[in-house]
Structures are given as structure tokens and as C-alpha cells.
Amino acid sequence: MKTVTLPVAYVPLVDAAPLIVACEMGFAHEEGIELDLVAAPSWSSVRDMLAFGRVDAAHLLSPVPVAMALGLGGVARPLAAVSVLSVNGNVIGVGPALEARLRGIGYTFDFADAAGAAAALARVADRPLVFGVPFPFSMHVELLHYWLEASNLSRVGFEVRTVPPPLMAQALAAGDVDAFCVGEPWGSVAVEKCSGALLLPGKAIWAFAPEKVLAVRTDWAETEPHLLGKLMRAVWRAGRWLNAPERRTSVAEILSKKAYLDLPSEVIDRALTGHFTVSGQGEQRQVEGFIEFHDGVANFPWRSQAKWIAHRLATRYGLDPATARAKAGEVFRSDIYRREMSATHVDFPGASEKLEGSIRQATAVASQKGQLSLLPDAFFDGRIFDPDKV
């Protein structure tokens, strides 16, 4: 059988693991494809490579294809998010100056309580705080706004500014940003460089936030369904494999290779095991489910997730929220997911939308083959997002 090679773009991060493992552990090969993984220096570069056909698929921030569908940003090629590669996995941290002030009021860096962290920031902020994020369209931006806009900090003010994670330490030192929200390993790298302390895992704000998606051009998905199916199944099997706790050390080793993240595996391991060092003083915190690659139907692209993102974007950018939600629903392709994944005997939820934020503890829901267990997806403030009644 002739093997087809698919070029796939990614940004070297812990959550690129499903693509890297699919390549390294032979899951792509089993499907009769080879992945040509192209490491990209920036998210704009990933987006352009995908939009203009340099690659056929990409590891992409979940809000990027949604923003493109809403006409936000420079490029307007229709993209399809065919599966969710990872759920959660970001951290919010503060620079040394803010860390010192937080310690001054007795803040304990519990790395868990989002409302408490916002209240503490509001107490120590004497001017609007600037948060660095990797990209204008990212879950990082969405989580920060969701977390802070109803808090006391919004009275003092806050600003969100794009700073590539490798430059975050420099930006903190120069006073360009006071705090940051980044994907791992960049939070742990900041702690290692003593340029900050970690305040919260992203999941403390939204317990089940779709972080990265597997994205393809919509027209490519239509003309190459066969290749797309192979890619999706290879990546799904890789996610299932690497999700097992006993394999996470090996995964950290693979990711640490020079060709991928090129960082000590010990730093990468923190996100995978949820065992964090949150400050230069060596304080340890454990987070259950810090990043999820498989359990709780993590890979299913819920249309309601896309609608939540679109609703938030539309509100901030002054677009009509109802139109934006309708457009976004077409971007997360639960229909393609069902069609291409049926060959794996994987079970699917009966619905393609859910009430985001309504699951407080692991819950069994109706599925095509009986019952499936969904993981908690609550927002820190207890609000529920109904995609059809906003």
C-alpha cells in the first residue's frame, strides 16, 4: 500500500503531544499515513500555512477557526475543527513584583481558587494590570476576560497584550507585562527562570475548556475525507495512549527531544502529571486533570463549545452574538467526527451540544451505544451557557 505523507503544522507545546505521539509511536503508520510535522515559530504562521495550503492540518488554538469564521483577523479561509486535541492545560502566573505584593498580603498561592486569586490581585493592584498572552484569538484571552471582568480587578482595570511566550520573561523584567496566561511548558519555564509564580491552572476558571483543535481547510475535508479519517483516528489513538498515567513519563521524554520541545523532560512532566512547582521557593501543588487528552469524550468537538467562544468574541468585538453563534456552530464539526470515528468502535454522545458549565461532577449521559461519562465542565462562577438561550 502506498503511504501518503501529510504535512501538519504545530507549535512546540505540551499539548501538541497527540500529533507528536501519533508520529513517534506508530499510530499514523498503522493508518497507512506518515506525518510530516512542521514546527511553527508563531500562531500566525500556523494559521497562514494551513490557510494557504503549505500544510493540510494543524494544531490550532480553538478560538482561531471560530474568529476566522466571524471575519476577525487578517485571513478569511474557511477552516474546520474536526476534533479537540486537548482540554485545559494553560496556567496563569504573575511576575516577581506582583508575587512579592501578593505574599505581602498573605496570599498562599493555593493554585486552585479563581475567585480568591482575582480578589487578591484586586487588593494589590494600584494601576491596571497588563496580562501577556500568546495570541489575540486564544482560550488564554477568553479565560482571562471571563475570570476578571466580573471581579474587583476590573474596577482597577486590566489589559491583555500579545507577547510570544519565549519573550514573556523579558516582558516581565522590562515591566511590559505584570502577569501572563500561557500554555505549558511556558509557565513552568517562567518559574524555573525565577521570573514568576503560578497563580492558577486554566481549569480553575473553566473546568473543561477546549484548548487546541485539529484543524483542516473545510474544502480539503470535503475533497479528502479518506485521508482526514486516517489522520483523525491516528491522533485519537495517540491521545488515548498518552493519556494513561503510567505512560506520561515516556511522553515527557518524547516531547523533550530536540526536534520537538527541546527542554528538560522534568519541566514537561509537570503539566502531564499535574504535579507543579508554583514558585521559585519550590512550593508544590497537585492539579487533577490539569490537561486532558482523552477521558470524558475530550476529543468530541461540541458545537456548544464553539458557540461559547463565538459569543464571547462577538460581545467583545461588537458583532451580533446570535449570528456569530450560528456561524461558529458550523466550525466545530461534530458531524465529521461521528462519520470518521465510527470505524474505531468509539462511542459518541447522542447530542452535539450541551449546556456548557452545567456538569458539576462526572456524569453519565445518553450515547449511541448506551452511556458515556462526561467530566465536570463548570465555570468558576457557576454560570451556565445555554447555546440556544443566551
- Binding region for another protein (CB under 8 A): 41-45, 48-49, 51-54, 72-77, 132, 134-136, 161-164, 166-168, 170-171, 174, 176-177
Contact in structure between 96 and 195 (CB atoms under 8 Å): yes
In the complex, the smallest distance separating the C-beta of residue 320 from another protein, rounded to whole angstroms, is: 19
Rounded (10°) angle between helices 17-24 and 225-243 = 100
Complex with another protein: residue 163 or 190, whichever CB lies closer:
163
φ and ψ at residue 141, rounded to 5 degrees: -65, -45
CB under 8 Å to 306, separation ≥6 — which residues? 62, 66, 81, 328, 329, 331, 332
Output the CA–CA distances (angstroms, integers) from residue 199 to 114, 117, 166, 182, in the order listed: 9, 7, 19, 12
Among the residues of the chain, which ranges form H helices?
A: 17-24, 27-30, 43-51, 63-69, 96-104, 114-124, 139-148, 153-156, 168-173, 186-192, 218-223, 225-243, 248-255, 265-273, 303-317, 321-329, 334-341
Complex with another protein: residue 171 or 227, whichever CB lies closer:
171
In the complex, the smallest distance separating the C-beta of residue 167 from another protein, rounded to whole angstroms, is: 5
In the complex, the smallest distance separating the C-beta of residue 269 from another protein, rounded to whole angstroms, is: 25
In the complex, the smallest distance separating the C-beta of residue 318 from another protein, rounded to whole angstroms, is: 13
CA distance 320 to 323: 6
Rounded to the nearest angstrom, the gap between the alpha carbon of residue 387 and the centroid of all alpha carbons in its chain is 20
In the complex, the smallest distance separating the C-beta of residue 260 from another protein, rounded to whole angstroms, is: 16
Complex with another protein: residue 49 or 199, whichever CB lies closer:
49
Contact in structure between 6 and 36 (CB atoms under 8 Å): yes
Complex with another protein: residue 187 or 357, whichever CB lies closer:
187
CA angle 352, 353, 356 (to 5 degrees): 145
- Map grid coordinates 490581585 to a residue: 121
CA distance 108 to 117: 10
Complex with another protein: residue 77 or 247, whichever CB lies closer:
77
In the complex, the smallest distance separating the C-beta of residue 278 from another protein, rounded to whole angstroms, is: 23
Number of H helices, E strands in the chain: 17, 15
Rounded (10°) angle between helices 114-124 and 96-104 = 100
In the complex, the smallest distance separating the C-beta of residue 281 from another protein, rounded to whole angstroms, is: 25
**Burial tier of 112 (Cβ tally within 10 Å: 0-12, 13-18, 19+):** middle
Strand partners, 200: 92
Complex with another protein: residue 94 or 163, whichever CB lies closer:
163
Complex with another protein: residue 68 or 85, whichever CB lies closer:
68
Complex with another protein: residue 195 or 304, whichever CB lies closer:
195
CA distance 311 to 305: 10
In the complex, the smallest distance separating the C-beta of residue 8 from another protein, rounded to whole angstroms, is: 14
Complex with another protein: residue 130 or 235, whichever CB lies closer:
130
CA distance 337 to 72: 26
In the complex, the smallest distance separating the C-beta of residue 176 from another protein, rounded to whole angstroms, is: 5
In the complex, the smallest distance separating the C-beta of residue 163 from another protein, rounded to whole angstroms, is: 5
Complex with another protein: residue 57 or 238, whichever CB lies closer:
57
